[in-house]
Amino acid sequence: DAKTTQPNSMESNEEEPVHLPCNHSTISGTDYIHWYRQLPSQGPEYVIHGLTSNVNNRMASLAIAEDRKSSTLILHRATLRDAAVYYCILRASILTGGGNKLTFGTGTQLKVEL
């Protein structure tokens, strides 16, 4: 599986936007970029995913670089409830036998302060 690189931790103030970066320079042309988050003592939770175009949903926005070697998860207004570990994951293409396998890295611990 192609690898992703994320900062170990980031801090934000409540009500401010947060930009969580992810580098994936070895991404293949058919890999989807997924973001999950894990709140304390809970299971991972799907946030958003994309392939080439930027994506928006009720939780966040995903900005994908034109060369697809990096992406940024954007939380428009961070709240205390957004404090979690955020994982950027490349989903191996089913065309190469990856199926629905998601390989988690170490993620970014987001701390949100008042």
Q: Under rule CB under 8 A, how many of the chain's residues touch another protein? A: 21
> 3-state class of 99 per DSSP?
coil
Q: Is 113 within 8 Å of 13 (Cβ atoms)? A: yes
CA-CA distance, 100 to 14, in Å (whole number)? 34
Q: Single out the residue of 5, 16, 46, 57 in contact with another protein (rule: CB under 8 A).
A: 46
**Residue 104 binding another protein, by CB under 8 A:** yes
By beta-carbon proximity to another protein, the closer residue of 49 and 61 is 49
- Partnered with residue 72 across adjacent β-strands are 21, 63
94 is a contact residue toward another protein (CB under 8 A): yes
52 is an interface residue for another protein by CB under 8 A = no
Residue 18 β-bridge partners: 75
Q: Tell me how far apart the alpha carbons of residues 7 and 20 are, in angstroms, rounded to a whole number.
A: 8
Binding status of residue 112 toward another protein by CB under 8 A: no
When the beta carbons of 42 and 114 are compared against another protein, the nearer one is 42
> At 59, is the secondary structure helix, strand, or coil?
coil
Q: Which residues bind another protein (CB under 8 A)?
A: 32, 34, 36, 41-46, 49, 85, 87, 91, 94, 99-104, 106
